[in-house]
Amino acid sequence: MHLAPTDEQRAIQEEARRFLAAEITRERRRAWDELPGGWDDEFRRAVARLGWLGWGLPEDVGGHGASLLELGLLLEECGRAAAPSGLFAAIAGGLGIAALGTAAQRRAWLPAVARGERLVTLAVEEAGASVPSAFATTLRGRGRTLRLAGEKQYVLQGVDADAFLVVARDRGGVSALLVPADAPGVAVRAQKTFAKDRQSVVRFRDVAVPASALLGRRGAAGPRLAALRDRLAALACADMVGGADAVLAMTTRYVCEREQFGAKLGTFQAVQQMAADMTIALEGARHVTRQALWRLAEGLPARREVAIAKAWTGPAYRAITLTAHQLHGGAGYVVDHDLHRYSSRAVEAELRFGSAEAWLEAIGDDLDLVRAPRRR
């Protein structure tokens, strides 16, 4: 197992870093903050031309065919630049169709997704339900027309989606289907979030959908959905690693430049130890994330590795930003400082695809502690 990027992968990362640094200026980001979708069409077209929206999609549907580890390296750079949430949402939607859809559905949707002409986003999570079997959203009916009813929350980029990949309880199992955003009975309500990402509540009021909208066999999406969640959780960790790396870099620059009591902040032992703690947390997050992505890319069992990565990386990112605020002193509490964008994203990212506590429970289940013999 070799987790360090190859020379080719490193070159792609460096090119992505240069592109994002040039495109995502402070002024442009503030302008995006005022837009409903959080990004403009020009940037969306630019990343589509680079092939990023199809980076992890198969080549036969217009994708790049990159491995999950390579896609994770790209998302590290997106996290480092605090790229718009629409980018992650678009990538996740494409991966969702690739994982759950039939061959015909992949051919029909994924080329347009890779070109940035269609945006499909996931509408999976619900309030008060941690597993799909407990979802209140249901799919009913038989024959050519089915009926969808329920409400989805935390839908990333729902405000400018062309279609939603919806997961619903169905016939004792779980079904996934594609629902056009303009279908009668679909209502999207934008939410104002702490992290300025574009989340929405999407309500489906007895929406009529054709049976052809089903992604795969009806009632049998559960296992593939769980596998997709693992992949997306690992990719979310990669995004967090990039963000944490950016925070550490801006903090080390600051303490090397800022003087206090006639000396640079970075010369104080307490400051050095705090920066060292940030570095250790970051490198741990980077290692467990890349290990999870590598195992997933190789088709190896990775449930435990994904759980470790998600349980470690979210709290690490949040802790790194909090330490950064402390080391920046008064400057770190100015709302216009870039650090605030990263710290707010860290809070949101820690909860995406499940909280650290939920993933810790998964690790505990894997350890089989309930049936472990007691020591005398």
| Amino acid (1-letter code) at residue 221 | A
Alpha-carbon distance 96 to 341, whole Å?
28
233 and 296 in a single domain? The answer is yes
| Amino acid (1-letter code) at residue 113 | V
Residue 372 confidence (pLDDT) above 60: no
∠ CA 166-307-20, rounded to 5°? 70
Alpha-carbon distance 32 to 24, whole Å?
10
| Amino acid (1-letter code) at residue 323 | T
Name the one residue in this structure whose structure tokens are 């769980």.
226
**CA 100 to the chain's CA centroid:** 18
**Residue 138: helix, strand or coil by DSSP?**
strand
In the chain, the N- to C-terminal Cα span, in Å, equals 39
241 and 360 in a single domain? The answer is yes
Residue 10: count of CB within 10 angstroms of its CB: 12
**CA 183 to the chain's CA centroid:** 26
Question: Are the C-beta atoms of 222 and 132 separated by less than 8 Å?
Answer: yes
Question: Are the C-beta atoms of 174 and 206 separated by less than 8 Å?
Answer: no
pLDDT tens, position by position, 269-310? 999 999 999 999 999 999 999 999 999 999 999 999 999 999
14 and 138 in a single domain? The answer is no
Q: The domain containing residue 238 runs over which residues?
A: 223-367
Buried b (16+ CB within 10 A) or exposed e, 62-97: bbbebbbbbbbbbbbbbbbbbbbbbbbbbbbbbbbb
Out of 146-155, 240-249, 352-361, pick the least confident.
352-361
Alpha-carbon distance 120 to 243, whole Å?
25
Residue 167 confidence (pLDDT) above 80: yes
* Band (149; pLDDT cuts 50, 70, 90): very high
Domain harbouring 306, CATH code: 1.20.140.10
Alpha helix ranges (H) inside the chain: 7-23, 26-33, 41-49, 68-80, 85-100, 103-114, 222-257, 269-297, 303-328, 338-351, 356-367
**Range 254-278 average pLDDT:** 92
361 and 260 in a single domain? The answer is yes
Alpha-carbon distance 37 to 159, whole Å?
6
Last residue in a domain, options 95, 118, 141:
118
Domain harbouring 134, CATH code: 2.40.110.10
Out of 183-187, 192-196, 253-257, 352-356, pick the least confident.
192-196
**Residue 310: helix, strand or coil by DSSP?**
helix
Name the one residue in this structure whose structure tokens are 């309880």.
169
Asked whether residue 22 is assigned to any structural domain, the reply reads: yes
Asked whether residue 325 is assigned to any structural domain, the reply reads: yes
Widest distance between CA atoms in the chain:
78
pTM: 0.94
Q: Which two tokens stand for residue 109?
A: 């949707």
**Range 66-70 average pLDDT:** 95
Asked whether residue 169 is assigned to any structural domain, the reply reads: yes
Tally of domains in the chain: 3
Residue 2: count of CB within 10 angstroms of its CB: 7
Alpha-carbon distance 129 to 340, whole Å?
30
157 and 113 in a single domain? The answer is no
The pLDDT value given to residue 206: 96
